[in-house]
Amino acid sequence: MIPKGVIITVSDKNVGVSLLPYEWYAQEYKAQITKGGHLSINMTESECIAMLCSQIKVFKDSCSHLQEDLLKSLWPKVPFKNHKISVMKLVPKVHKIKGLPSRPIRGAEADPIRFPSKVLYNLLKNMLSDLREMYKNITIHPQSYPILQGCDDYITRISNVKLLTENHIKTVLITADFSDAYTETDIDRLRMSIRLITNWDQPTLKVSFFPSKS
């Protein structure tokens, strides 16, 4: 019953099942290559894995003693040897049907960069926790920390906004979304953001807005 030349897959945000032709995937992969600035390299998978492992070792060897201790505390304990290069999968954004764009998902379960990525994730998570403690007086509304940790945090925050009945038609809630915020964020932009946040004047800063993504 399945037509030839099509692929059945889940849609972004689990809004349903999609059935799309091969041509759509070919077109979207080309779009993602251009969008993400990907380059073609003449290297086998084993050579690529060796190169990544070598770069990770160079990074580890360059760490100070303090950084080494921090790295050891966050680095996953179970070693992984059967490395494979991750594959970029595409899921259709059916909820944005116009032009039917795709969302790239990079399955990195066995990729050498999986462990460094976990370390970075935990470092950022710990940094947000430290900032939460440092800036307890910065609030949007009572008991709310202005820096969000993701969409779930945002949804919870919005659900706690209570309006008086007479204010319903007088109030407009505006949210914004960064385009490709994660894939387009490099280390220099991250450092710039950290510097900006740590230079806040804690006693006087007043935050009156929050974006839909951290």
Q: Kindly state whether residue 212 falls inside one of the protein's structural domains.
A: yes
146, 138 Cβ separation under 8 angstroms: yes
C-beta atoms surrounding 186 within 10 Å: 9
Q: Kindly state whether residue 92 falls inside one of the protein's structural domains.
A: no
Residue 18 phi, psi (nearest 5): -115, 145
Q: What's residue 184's pLDDT?
A: 61
> Residues 97-116, buried b or exposed e (16+ Cβ, 10 A)?
eeeebbebeeebeebbbebb
Q: Kindly state whether residue 82 falls inside one of the protein's structural domains.
A: no
Among 6-15, 43-52, 182-191, top mean pLDDT goes to 43-52
Q: What's residue 137's pLDDT?
A: 65
Q: What's residue 178's pLDDT?
A: 58
Q: Kindly state whether residue 148 falls inside one of the protein's structural domains.
A: yes
Q: Kindly state whether residue 49 falls inside one of the protein's structural domains.
A: no
Higher local confidence (pLDDT), 80 or 76:
76
Quickly state the pLDDT bin for 128 (edges 50, 70, 90): confident
Mean pLDDT, residues 52-81 = 89
CA distances (Å), origin 210, targets 40, 140, 144, 189, 205: 39, 8, 11, 19, 14
CA dihedral 81, 85, 86, 90 (to 10 degrees): -160
Contacts of 166 (CB under 8 A, 6+ apart): none
Higher local confidence (pLDDT), 175 or 22:
22
The residues facing 107 across adjacent strands are 87
C-beta atoms surrounding 53 within 10 Å: 13
Q: Which letter does DSSP use for residue 11 in this model?
A: P
The number of folded domains in the chain is 1
Q: Kindly state whether residue 30 falls inside one of the protein's structural domains.
A: no
Domain extent at residue 152: 135-214
pTM: 0.62
Higher local confidence (pLDDT), 15 or 43:
43
Q: Kindly state whether residue 57 falls inside one of the protein's structural domains.
A: no
Q: Kindly state whether residue 187 falls inside one of the protein's structural domains.
A: yes
Kindly report, residue by residue over 101-125, the tens digit of the pLDDT. Answer: 898 888 778 899 889 988 988 888 8
